[in-house]
Chain A
């Protein structure tokens, strides 16, 4: 790797890389993000290499493992350049055909293309797929073009030009002004204005300052930061280096959870390569600015995503938050001014420097600028990572990009903001996505988790689930969080088990108030949100559980019964054969009866019952009708098996 000794050499280096490449030559990009790897992307990648080798195309065709493009639902994703043909759910067995047809004959393998479920039409290019078409992919767009293990790919895509620009033509104050003007707000959860945070640290008198990447992404179902750190680690590093230059820091840390081994590997590699190229270390790009980055692996505590807990953990002590009467940008890590920003926040910085604050501020709304990456999961057709401009309506994300709810079910709510976020009901689907708008609706932006729920989801159980998660993840330092959440969870669990009683909601509200008012850190203070927001929008469900012992979503096991409708049962024995508990009595052409004592409420019978009969139903809040007397159980007419 060559060392670049001036900002001007970055552009020269980029041109050299590009000139060594033939843009007309095919390049096969296989997503090597964690999601696609889990679906077999590594085998696909190996198969491509082997096949190209076999066909003697090794030198003519470039194959790379790329960062995550986001369409995890349909992984492994393969894109063939320069045509940008996008193949989905590719298996190793498909590889010879792709090589033969697409590389050899320049033809498209139709069966691997995206099929629009509504029209049946096929989309050849990535940008034709509605999932991608409706996004604004400023941060994620490079992922698919870059081999995250090669700094040349990042430089070729324009990487480190923002750093060169900052170091050659901008003073730290100008960098700060640009970031402040962009109105970039922290992507980690609280949405604190990034420029203000930097300003505080920059102006703090202490000569030793730190910049830190918070990559302790711990929200269930969220993986935005992982995708960036795995897929485009240099973009995060570049932002960090610019930030360090701005505030006057010479030492930075990447705090990344160790459950992200690939992210750890890639960011470490990126730091090494950046050091070799002169983007890190002494006298960066000949500017006289020194900066080092170290990677710290988190040991798996959700609370370490909280700024002070993260810094305590970085110091080598148990990851517990500490009181914040002085902000950590003034007194943070080892009591020094420390700028802690989320992965995505840092990744936005090079874009702002390159394109200008005005360009950035034009995206989104007045108070929430730029784009935001969400991980769209749950009961949604297109699970994956989506990057959208702030201010987009929830409906556009869920239906326009996510493709709506599978199985023709009804949308019920979307949970945003991670476990301590809140649930937003269908009535608010036209809500514009922004920091303040989501907070007003009783939820929050958080780091960008978005869990879609359909009509089968019990909101009481959702609250119970998230409170349980937070109870487990409470560090245990302050009493209201450690003990109060536990009590909340016990009461919520009781309600879902049919043991709810009058007064429970009032106690839960009081416990929530105690946690919000008295907890030490944001984890405890926001922990009651799942309960409070579901209570606000779905109070009737709570009341049904408590008063009628009924789960309106027919989801809480202790409150439902499975029942075979004697009028619909054809005595086919499908359910009887599959029941793992042996709870179904019946015979050929004999009405089946579920023994409520033996039934474990697994739902197998309901899945097994042929849809044309639809005889198995769930009952909640009322008694199961008495079984049909033995003498009346014979079914007249043809059995289904005949």
Chain B
């Protein structure tokens, strides 16, 4: 600890803190223009010079360490004079076009000129005349306003790991620009805009939309991936104008990704549904809400009466709130007496629960993000975290940069993360589980981990050891194409590098990883002593904002709210007490079973809330056959999605910005959407629609507010409900069913290389893009300009062999179907593999992907590529 005095105030700070940190702790304001706590101190603006007793020179507060006994003064007349001179300098060529600058009102230069009363300038004005650069989709660059603080360059390089811009030329001619005078070509995360202290970098989506001081800021949480970034929804007159993040609030330290910052336009898309629609003979017709709700209830009741409760099912959504998912499952279980409710989690995230709960005893062993900074080794398996969960990617880059963590990627595809990683093992697509098993086998065989003895005592160790023993380095080489030496190095590094964290995604969009990847990762983590209470273990960021919350709410065929098993009689009775009626005893149909049942005609009605199976689920042709066969398809969504087009009745819902409710992120931490604007006229919050349907179906008397739903959850499932109360902001969800059981091992069930059908020589990997979130971000112009379509990523070797030039059209065919897409020749792809992102109706990626015969398992699709 260091004790010092700033402007007469005693303050204590930890070692390594700067004078600026100390001043902030003491509540003393020191102006800065080039400082940001996320960035390496730069010391360029010289606004923060301080007078330290006994020092010959003035010391910049941002870069000078606080030392014991320092007596610091920050507002002497002399320093104020220097500050004013610096501000005069900056105003010599700053255009002072504040009336037409989007940053007016939140501009540091403007504020400081005002604070320091720089009313006159002794120097001749000398304005710059750079052309304003609007050539890229999202960031307007007006270098005339730039004061060269370098924050944009540093955040792009240091935090994002991109380095799309740099300082060009020298001295007075210095300019911040992309290389070689090109147009900005980057991730478009907009972090540069957020850190710009002036109006040199502004958002094109926000340009001339609103004066900053007229915006209402509503603290909320990002609706896209599961990272759970805190955001401010900034709105005016009922419209969302922009999304921002405050460095001091939430887990994201002020960082946002392209989806988070720019993916809000869908809220006010003209394509939003503003009335319930009923399918007529030819087309959809608008109907009144009351008629629509009556119609929905009638149809469901009719079908139940005619075919029984098992003929009805629902698809829940990890994008709606915990309360809404809770209502949906209650509606199904009580109102329609069926447990037929499942979600997209069946194609991905559910594997985490099925894999981890048996091994860790509960789901609670998932680490918090602090595990990333605590880790000495971070193994990222088969996942492009920097694209699917970009801010988690930032944490990993930060851990490497600031804590010296060793980042190891096992991934067939190159990405930003593989570029920054200490080691990149390029395995064959879909073989991450085999590689992880191989590492475990080596650690067990060669006794590489000091924690091995501890692990041996856990139940099931021998079975696990036996199940991975087959994955010798030679076998792993044969299956995954990883050289034995590489694998041995990996095993050594991982075993020696405790605490070690394994990061991977289990996204439904991805066809390469599943239950066995999860089991293999958990096993590896257990044998090296990295999993268990208080340890860091596995981090599995999900694809949507409320994956954990949805499952905790009981939106699954076999789970009740709080993760109790439906088979658990006591749990059912507890629910019956709260609900006044008991949920059915037998587990409902899972996602695959519902689709099969619909295909066979035994499932007659399906209620789809906030999901788009026609794009997001595998085997599109089969999904279509199933949905088209239904007697009644009820879809509740913001847009006329590909799925809604097949519906008999469509109910327009409200977006995240238009409603309130809780969601839980990848570390199961609860945060809340807070209503920032009123719902679009004609659309309603999902919970209101569900509440009304409950009423119509005779389940309770409806809810007047989200708080009423929360109250009911607290009474019924206290462990879940308590975490949802606004007072418990930031708490993590715990499972009602947490047994406190000791970890145990589960045997890996993996047989090695998949059999590939003849004539389909390429492995097709599917997944998400950096700039899109499900199908909803397609509804905003900004991100669509950055990533307007899905292209087929192919290696230069394969492209050459097939004579496919970059940007030409190719045909991709699997046993399931064929699609056409534009080719993108990229070094990031290994030979023999191609990648296609989902999100778009065409190319319908999921029409190439088969559904796996085994629950929770995935198979990399085999395809052939031809010139289109």
Contact = CB atoms under 8 A, between A and B. Distances in A.
B101 interface: no
Nearest to B43: A323
B58 interface: yes
Interface of B: 41-46, 49, 57-58, 60, 63-65, 82, 85-86, 89-90, 92, 122-124, 147-148, 150, 166-167, 169-174
B166 A486 contact: no
A482 interface: yes
B172 to A, nearest CB: 5
Nearest to A520: B43
Interface stretch (A367-375, A470-478, A537-545, A585-593): A470-478
Contacts of A511: 85
A325 B65 contact: yes
Contacts of A628: none
B64 A471 contact: no
A480 B89 contact: yes
Given A483-B90, A518-B49, 8 more contacts: A476-B169, A476-B171, A477-B150, A483-B86, A507-B122, A511-B85, A519-B46, A520-B43
B44 A325 contact: no
Interface residues of A, number: 30
Given A471-B172, A486-B172, A514-B82, A477 B89 contact: no
A510 B41 CA distance: 27
B44 A483 contact: no
Interface in A366-425: none
A405 to B, nearest CB: 35
A478 B92 contact: no
A479 B174 contact: no
Contacts of A510: 85
B357 to A, nearest CB: 44
Contacts of B43: 322-323, 478, 520
A179 B29 CA distance: 47
A511 B86 CA distance: 10
A487 B89 contact: yes
A477 B44 contact: yes
Given A320-B167, A476-B148, A476-B171, A483 B92 contact: yes
B41 A323 contact: yes
A520 B171 CA distance: 13
A477 B153 CA distance: 12
A482 B85 contact: no
B89 to A, nearest CB: 3
B174 A482 contact: yes
Given A474-B171, A482-B171, A518 B41 contact: no
A474 B45 contact: no
Nearest to B45: A479
Contacts of A482: 89, 148, 171-172, 174
A301 interface: yes
A472 B63 CA distance: 26
B64 A325 contact: yes
Contacts of B82: 514, 517-518
B87 to A, nearest CB: 9
Contacts of B44: 477-479, 520
B174 A487 contact: no
A518 B171 contact: no
Contact of B174 (A322, A476, A480): A476
Contacts, number: 95
Nearest to A518: B46
Contacts of B45: 478-479
Contact of B46 (A318, A320, A479, A507): A479
Nearest to B89: A483
Contact of A487 (B42, B65, B92, B150): B92
A514 B47 CA distance: 12
B171 A471 contact: yes
A301 to B, nearest CB: 6
Interface in A492-525: 507, 510-511, 514, 517-520
A323 B60 CA distance: 9
A484 B169 CA distance: 18
A490 interface: yes
Contacts of A478: 43-46
Nearest to B153: A318
A405 B86 CA distance: 43
Tell which of A476, A484, A520 has the most Cβ of chain B within 10 Å.
A476
Contacts of B147: 479
- The CB with the most chain A CB atoms within 10 A, among B44, B60, B173, is that of B44
A507 B88 CA distance: 13
B167 A476 contact: yes
A320 B44 CA distance: 10
B2 to A, nearest CB: 14
A322 B41 CA distance: 9
A301 B170 contact: yes
B166 A318 contact: yes
Contact of B63 (A323, A479, A507): A323
Contacts of A322: 42-43
A472 B170 CA distance: 8
A490 B124 CA distance: 9
A324 B438 CA distance: 48
Given A476-B148, A518-B82, A520-B43, A484 B167 contact: no
Contacts of A520: 43-44, 46, 60
A479 B90 contact: yes
B63 to A, nearest CB: 4
A162 B147 CA distance: 52
Contacts of B89: 479-480, 482-484, 487
B172 A325 contact: no
Contacts of A301: 170
A325 B170 contact: no
A47 B269 CA distance: 84
Contacts of A320: 167
B148 A480 contact: no
A98 B614 CA distance: 96
A266 to B, nearest CB: 29
Given A323-B63, A476-B148, A483 B58 contact: no
A516 to B, nearest CB: 9
29 contacts: A322-B42, A323-B42, A323-B43, A471-B171, A473-B171, A474-B170, A476-B167, A476-B171, A477-B148, A478-B43, A478-B45, A479-B44, A479-B46, A479-B86, A479-B89, A479-B90, A479-B147, A480-B46, A482-B172, A483-B90, A484-B89, A486-B172, A487-B92, A517-B57, A518-B46, A518-B82, A518-B86, A520-B44, A520-B46
* Top 10 closest pairs, chain A to chain B, by CB: A483-B89, A476-B174, A323-B63, A323-B43, A474-B171, A476-B171, A518-B46, A477-B44, A478-B44, A514-B85
B65 to A, nearest CB: 6
Contacts of B123: 487, 490
A595 to B, nearest CB: 32
A301 B60 CA distance: 25
Contacts of A325: 63-65
A212 to B, nearest CB: 22
B450 to A, nearest CB: 25
Contacts of B170: 301, 472-476
A541 B147 CA distance: 36
B755 to A, nearest CB: 48
B688 to A, nearest CB: 55
A217 B401 CA distance: 34
Contacts of A507: 122
Nearest to A320: B167
A612 B739 CA distance: 115
Contacts of A477: 42, 44, 148, 150
Nearest to A510: B85
A579 to B, nearest CB: 36
Nearest to A302: B170
Contacts of B42: 322-323, 477
B40 to A, nearest CB: 9
Contacts of B90: 479, 483
Nearest to A478: B44
A507 B171 CA distance: 21
